[in-house]
Amino acid sequence: AQRVTQPEKLLSVFKGAPVELKCNYSYSGSPELFWYVQYSRQRLQLLLRHISRESIKGFTADLNKGETSFHLKKPFAQEEDSAMYYCALSVDFNKFYFGSGTKLNVKP
Amino acid sequence: NAGVTQTPKFRVLKTGQSMTLLCAQDMNHEYMYWYRQDPGMGLRLIHYSVGEGTTAKGEVPDGYNVSRLKKQNFLLGLESAAPSQTSVYFCASSYQSSGTGGYNEQFFGPGTRLTVL
């Protein structure tokens, strides 16, 4: 079975503080992992993919196969980062399994 | 390009009524998906399609049917709506993956908020 776990429903930090959104996955094959973001009143959109090893809007995520984790990190949170974040695992035929999401609230 | 569009945006049904949600994409994507989003549950895959004329079940298919008669359209049907189907429904599409490591980003529609009384 493929499963994605995001243990935190809500994460509140102050502007300028570091932020880490946790994601753990369960998959026996070679995973393709993604972070999607949904800003208020906007549609869900891709933030970053593990395969690209990219940094988007200051966010990075490293795949740790030993710990089966793909945590999303940003050293200095901004108010505009406030949104709902979903970790997703992609398997056969582009099927995606999404975590339950973490709402990030960045306080001024 | 409009990307992925969904109609209607909102709908209120009574228990037992039927309806069809329409998803359309103009990106010539092969794959299309229907999800439902519920508080604390994230997005759950209802049905998906890997090409025109094909459909397959996702995680939560019961109570829903789908059709993909044209490549650009993916319809989600509720034959007899139930209050448990109150949710926000998202459609998404993606292009064919080139295999392991292939770029298979999903593009989402704006969602349809459905309430079943």
Q: Say how far apart CA B77 and CA A47 lie, in whole Å.
A: 30
* Interchain contact, A9 vs B42, CB within 8 Å: no
Q: Say how far apart CA B79 and CA B16 lie, in whole Å.
A: 8
Question: Quick one: residue A11, left, alpha or beta (phi over 0 = left, psi -120 to 50 = alpha)?
Answer: beta
Interface test with B, best of A8, A38, A44, A84 (most B CBs within 10 A): A44
CB-defined contacts A:B, below 8 A: 57
pLDDT in tens, A54-93: 788 999 998 888 899 999 999 999 999 999 999 999 877 6
Q: What's the average model confidence in pLDDT over A13-35?
A: 92
pLDDT in tens, A89-105: 987 766 788 999 999 99
Q: Kindly list the residues from chain A whose CB atom is less than 8 angstroms away from the CB atom of residue B101.
A: 32, 51
CB-based burial label for A43 (10 Å; 0-12, 13-18, 19+): middle
Q: Kindly list the residues from chain B whose CB atom is less than 8 angstroms away from the CB atom of residue A46.
A: 105-106
Q: Say how far apart CA A27 and CA B1 lie, in whole Å.
A: 36
A2 falls in which pLDDT band (50, 70, 90)?
Answer: low
**pLDDT tens, position by position, for chain B (117 residues)?**
789 999 999 999 999 999 999 999 999 999 999 999 998 788 999 999 989 999 999 989 999 999 999 999 999 999 999 999 999 999 999 886 655 544 578 899 999 999 999
Q: Say how far apart CA A57 and CA B6 lie, in whole Å.
A: 28
Long-range pairs, B110-113, Cβ under 8 A, ≥24: B110/A43, B110/B5, B110/B6, B110/B9, B111/A43, B111/B6, B111/B9, B111/B37, B112/B6, B112/B7, B112/B8, B112/B9, B112/B10, B112/B11, B112/B21, B112/B88, B113/B9, B113/B10, B113/B11, B113/B88, B113/B89
| Closest CB to B40 among A49, A96, A100 | A100
Chain position carrying tokens 């189907």: B85
